[in-house]
Amino acid sequence: MEMIAGGGCDMNKHKKAQTAQDEAVAGSLKKIKNKFIVMSGKGGVGKTSVTVNLAIALANKGYKVGIMDVDIHGPDVPRVLGINKEMLGVNADKKLTPLAYSRNLSAVSIESLSASKDDAIIWRGPVKHSVIRQFIGDVEWGDLDYLLIDAPPGTGDEPLTVAQVISDAKAIIVTTPQEISLADVRKSINFCKTVKMNIFGLIENMSGFSCPHCHQAIDMFGTGGGERTAKDAGINFLGRIPFDPKLVTCGDSGTSYQEAYKDSPVTTAFDNVTKLMSELI
């Protein structure tokens, strides 16, 4: 991928490239009906797991779905989808072709551009901004019903770039039920207000655990805090995803949880969230 950021001696050439990329970005976005950025105030609350599973649930319903992994420093989407051995292709128009997970679901991640998966990426904000624009404009996304954008935790360069470049992107905030996570959610809500990004709703992840032996419900991190926070902030509560250790093993091995555990409470929860999403848009 040719970088157009980082300065250049020929200003005219740079401006021309910038205009061509603006047009490419606008052209790609025009073909995508719904854009959602999945964000959280705190790390490890399950953003990637939620993004991937929402995408699979939507694709299973027949929607065309793309995942754009803008977690530049910790790109996990290809691994969780089980397509981390593949690299992005290039088509006849010199556009990048996303990784195909299934007929309805494709993904783009920085992970699928670098041959060495263990390299640390050390980029400043402007380079990340440029890469995210290229992930939109230089990728042949085609017509999509949903683009889900997996952002790193917090309110840094990546969500800021998404807010600036994709003006109709809406935020889905993921939290766990503990008070510490909920405090961080309030920061994400304030970030969205500041950058004028609509908040589509909030999902409470790791919400309750059903003991596999006695089936008793155990509230490991509490439950209901997400719904209360959503209500207080006047935003949609999209649902609760229960804690299930099998999600960890599936995520680590790149196996589809929803395929393996079709009737589980987690699969049902993702199905319900995606139903609600299509009702609310």
Ligand X SMILES: Nc1ncnc2c1ncn2[C@@H]1O[C@H](COP(=O)(O)OP(=O)(O)OP(=O)(O)O)[C@@H](O)[C@H]1O
Give the phi and the psi of residue 68 in degrees, each rounded to 5. -110, 115
Among 21, 48, 106, 155, which residue interacts with ligand X (rule: CB under 6 A)? 48
Site for ligand X in 99-158 (CB under 6 A): 152-153
- Rounded Cα distance between 246 and 122, Å, is 33
Please return the burial class of 113, using the count of CB atoms within 10 Å of its CB with bins 0-12, 13-18 and 19+. middle
Site for ligand X in 156-215 (CB under 6 A): 205-206
Residue 251 binds ligand X (CB under 6 A): yes
Among 67, 244, 267, 274, which residue interacts with ligand X (rule: CB under 6 A)? 244
Q: Structure tokens of 189?
A: 């809500």
Q: Structure tokens of 243?
A: 């804690």
Among 21, 40, 109, 223, which residue interacts with ligand X (rule: CB under 6 A)? 40
- Rounded Cα distance between 225 and 179, Å, is 7
The verdict on whether residue 46 carries a ligand-binding annotation is yes
The verdict on whether residue 62 carries a ligand-binding annotation is no
Residue 241 binds ligand X (CB under 6 A): yes
DSSP string, 82-97: T-TT---EE-TTSPEE
Q: Structure tokens of 157?
A: 């360069």
Residue 49 binds ligand X (CB under 6 A): yes
Please return the burial class of 15, using the count of CB atoms within 10 Å of its CB with bins 0-12, 13-18 and 19+. exposed
Q: Find where tokens 């299934």 sit.
A: 102
The nearer residue to ligand X, 7 or 245, going by C-beta atoms, is 245
The nearer residue to ligand X, 49 or 134, going by C-beta atoms, is 49
Residue 260 binds ligand X (CB under 6 A): no
- Rounded Cα distance between 11 and 14, Å, is 5
Residue 223 binds ligand X (CB under 6 A): no
Among 59, 60, 71, 201, which residue interacts with ligand X (rule: CB under 6 A)? 71
Residues lying near ligand X in the complex (CB under 6 A) are found at 40, 43-49, 71, 74, 76, 152-153, 205-206, 241, 243-245, 247-248, 251
Binding-site members for ATP are: 41-48
What residues form the annotated binding site? 41-48
